[in-house]
A and B are shown apart, each in its own frame.
Chain A
């Protein structure tokens, strides 16, 4: 079945450091891919998405490129801020399926 694998956290960075959170997936067909962010005490918020191979999703300085050849959708940001501290979830939506498959989440901690 479909699955999403994320790097284990927590990822600990200093402010202004470069961020990469790895995400790989297994799916049949051509799924849509998503990154969600969950701040403490809040629900999951859609951060960005990509619906086909080579698409790049971007939002709030975060980017991720849909790489079909490596079945990956890594999240990157050039300069993180303390306010980026949160849990990040990678997810896929397989065509023809109503539900999303989520990864386990990666906690990011950014210190001043």
Chain B
């Protein structure tokens, strides 16, 4: 299995621009998670999906953030408009069952100038 795939690996954008991060989970995994990691705040869970349905988005910092999962093999995290404080590494992870180990993608390093 190819593991969790994320794109792009690096994204540099200017404040105010729209940013879209993409994730392909491991085939057969029913759960998909989006995390954000920064030095100051550590690893934060933003939102997670079960069978393509958003279950808990309480970690999404603001309305500027949105996530979708149109099918079992694809999810997006969108930031519109982006701000410098959104600069972080964004990880996607997937798991097969509830409470099971999660498998992480390599992350997208976002820099907003």
Contacts and interface: CB of A to CB of B under 8 A. Distances in A.
Contacts of B100: 32, 93
Interface in A7-53: 31-32, 34, 36, 42-46, 49
- The size class of the interface chain B forms with chain A is 20 to 34
Interface of A: 31-32, 34, 36, 42-46, 49, 89, 93-100, 102, 104-105
Contacts of A95: 99
5 contacts: A31-B99, A46-B103, A49-B101, A93-B101, A95-B99
Interface in B39-73: 42-43, 45, 48, 50, 55-56
Nearest to A101: B45
A102 B98 contact: no
B98 A44 contact: no
A105 B43 contact: yes
A98 B31 contact: yes
Nearest to B45: A99
A32 B102 CA distance: 12
B104 A98 contact: no
B25 interface: no
Interface string B83-104: 0000000010101001111111
B101 A99 contact: no
5 A-B pairs with least C-beta separation: A93-B99, A43-B104, A44-B104, A98-B98, A43-B106
B91 to A, nearest CB: 6
